[in-house]
Amino acid sequence: MTTLMGTDAPFAVSVRGVNMVFDGVHAVRDATFDLEKGRFLTILGPSGSGKTTLLRMIAGFGKPTSGEVFINGLAVGSVPPHRRSIGMVFQKLALFPHMTAAENVAFPLRMRRFDARTIPDRVQRYLDLVKLGKLGDRRIHELSGGQQQRVAIARALVFEPDLLLLDEPLAALDRKLREEMQLEFRRIQRELDVTTINVTHDQREALVVSDEIIVMDHGRIQQKARPEATYRQPSNAFVANFIGVTNFIDGMVTAVDGDTIAFDRPGLAGRPGNGFRPLVGMAARGALRAEQIRIAGGREALGDVDTVFEGAVTDAIFEGERVVYEVTVPDLDGAALRVFDHDPVAHSQHEVGAAVAVGWNARDVLVFGD
């Protein structure tokens, strides 16, 4: 078996130059990353980004067209899925319908030839862990959606795998249950300290549950970073757009002064996004989060900001803890900026059609080249 060279304490998972092409579709392109033991990684991306394909290759369902996956430093390319020590929770759970909850949880133990005398105790311990202690005798269809989720988690963890894979198992749940299960995943993962890779298209879930986030698009890894860094220092415009609510202002670089880039119109400036080396005359794309924009009835009321524009409210949505505005700014070619106002009481609500001023600081504008 091939081992990954140059690592004393091998990573739980290492992916090296993995490509996957099927039916002429290049689903995963040159994916490379490492994951330390005990970490919770989320692969985040829109549908068709290749995130599930990558996860399934790690599980052993589908061989990479090229590249290699290492688990605990060992190449697993020729190891069939049933010989890998990986637990997986499937998108549609894939519980065995003809078995009870306890039989489902016992199945991996039977297949992996655990001592038959220890199986019942172990099954009970994991049913307790997922808070299903008394429901082991139930058939799968007699359990609620949330309870089925818990059975699937117990089945994936009961044999103490080296790695836990979660293939969007929460996508079908309603919001309240989903948020409850996200915290539940986090609790169990911390309790067992099992290395976990989660796949989702839900940016909130990625931010809430993960130690690290990989953002994928069109089969390519766009960024791998901690959640806060992913949010605050997106590596490109795609990541900036995919996580959070982001406004984009397109223009051309007019001046570069240290870390300040002036672009497009007088007064519009920002700092370079990850890796962007601006030159005067280059196309530039400024990314500005909706919550970084202040809104007020007039320029004076905005306080101390670098950039101010005037516009008109074209939409106002009251969301309880915040008001979401859409402000059309004539001086920005009629661009419609989305603005979160988290303090609607202090600012008084602006009606649709009202003239307002919007302002922000240059350090909050990230400028990208693409």
Partner 1 sequence: MKGDRSKAVTLWTFVVAALIMLSAPTLVVLGASFTAGNMITFPPEGLSLKWYAAIAGATDLRDAFLRSLIVASICTAVAIPTGTLAGIALAKYRVRFAAGVQVYLLLPFTVPLIGSGIGLMLIFGRWGVLGQLWPVGVAAAVINLPFMIWAVTASAAALDPDLELAAANCGAPPLSTFLAVTVPAVMPGIITGALLMFILALNEFLVSLLLVDARIVTLPVQIYNSIRSIITPDLAAISVVFIAVAAAAIALLDRLVGLDIFLKSK
Integer Cα distance of 99 and 297 in angstroms: 64
CB of 287 to partner 1, least distance (A): 38
Question: Would you say 55 or 181 has its CB closer to partner 1?
Answer: 55
With binding defined as CB under 8 A, does residue 12 bind partner 1? no
Question: Would you say 60 or 234 has its CB closer to partner 1?
Answer: 60
- CB contact at 8 A, 51 and 43: yes
Site for partner 1, residues 291 to 330, rule: CB under 8 A: none
Q: How many CB atoms lie within 10 A of CB 211?
A: 16
Question: Would you say 168 or 202 has its CB closer to partner 1?
Answer: 168
CB of 14 to partner 1, least distance (A): 20
With binding defined as CB under 8 A, does residue 119 bind partner 1? no
Choosing from 112, 125, 190, 363, the residue that interacts with partner 1 (CB under 8 A) is 112
* Overall size of the chain counted in residues: 370
Instruction: At 177, give phi and psi (nearest 5°).
Output: -65, -35
Site for partner 1, residues 134 to 173, rule: CB under 8 A: 155-156, 159
Residue 44's region, left for phi above 0, alpha for psi from -120 to 50, else beta, is beta
Choosing from 55, 71, 86, 209, the residue that interacts with partner 1 (CB under 8 A) is 86
With binding defined as CB under 8 A, does residue 59 bind partner 1? yes
| Site of tokens 């990230």 | 366
> Token pair for residue 159?
């044999």
Question: Would you say 92 or 363 has its CB closer to partner 1?
Answer: 92
Choosing from 25, 46, 66, 111, the residue that interacts with partner 1 (CB under 8 A) is 111
With binding defined as CB under 8 A, does residue 91 bind partner 1? yes
With binding defined as CB under 8 A, does residue 61 bind partner 1? yes
With CB under 8 A as the contact rule, which of the stretches 12-20, 78-86, 121-129, 238-246 interacts with partner 1? 78-86
With CB under 8 A as the contact rule, which of the stretches 65-73, 88-96, 171-179, 296-304 interacts with partner 1? 88-96
With binding defined as CB under 8 A, does residue 242 bind partner 1? no
With CB under 8 A as the contact rule, which of the stretches 95-103, 229-237, 335-343, 358-366 interacts with partner 1? 95-103
Q: Give the per-residue SS3 of the chain.
A: CCECCCCCCCCCEEEEEEEEEECCEEEEEEEEEEECCCCEEEEECCCCCCHHHHHHHHHCCCCCCEEEEEECCEECCCCCHHHCCEEEEECCECCCCCCEHHHHHHHHHHHCCCCCCCHHHHHHHHHHHCCCCCCCCCEHHHCCHHHHHHHHHHHHHCCCCCEEEEECCCCCCCHHHHHHHHHHHHHHHHHHCCEEEEEECCHHHHHHHCCEEEEEECCEEEEEECHHHHHHCCCCHHHHHHCCCEEEEEEEEEEEECCEEEECCCCCEEEECCCCCCCCCCEEEEEEEHHHCEEECCCHHHCCCCEEEEEEEEEEEECCCCEEEEEEEHHHCCEEEEEEECCHHHHCCCCCCCEEEEEECHHHCEEECC
CB of 98 to partner 1, least distance (A): 4
CB of 158 to partner 1, least distance (A): 9
CB of 90 to partner 1, least distance (A): 5
CB of 34 to partner 1, least distance (A): 23
With binding defined as CB under 8 A, does residue 92 bind partner 1? yes
CB of 328 to partner 1, least distance (A): 47
Question: Would you say 24 or 80 has its CB closer to partner 1?
Answer: 80
With binding defined as CB under 8 A, does residue 108 bind partner 1? yes
Could you list the residues that contact partner 1 (CB under 8 A)? Answer: 59-61, 80-83, 86-88, 90-92, 94-98, 107-108, 111-112, 155-156, 159
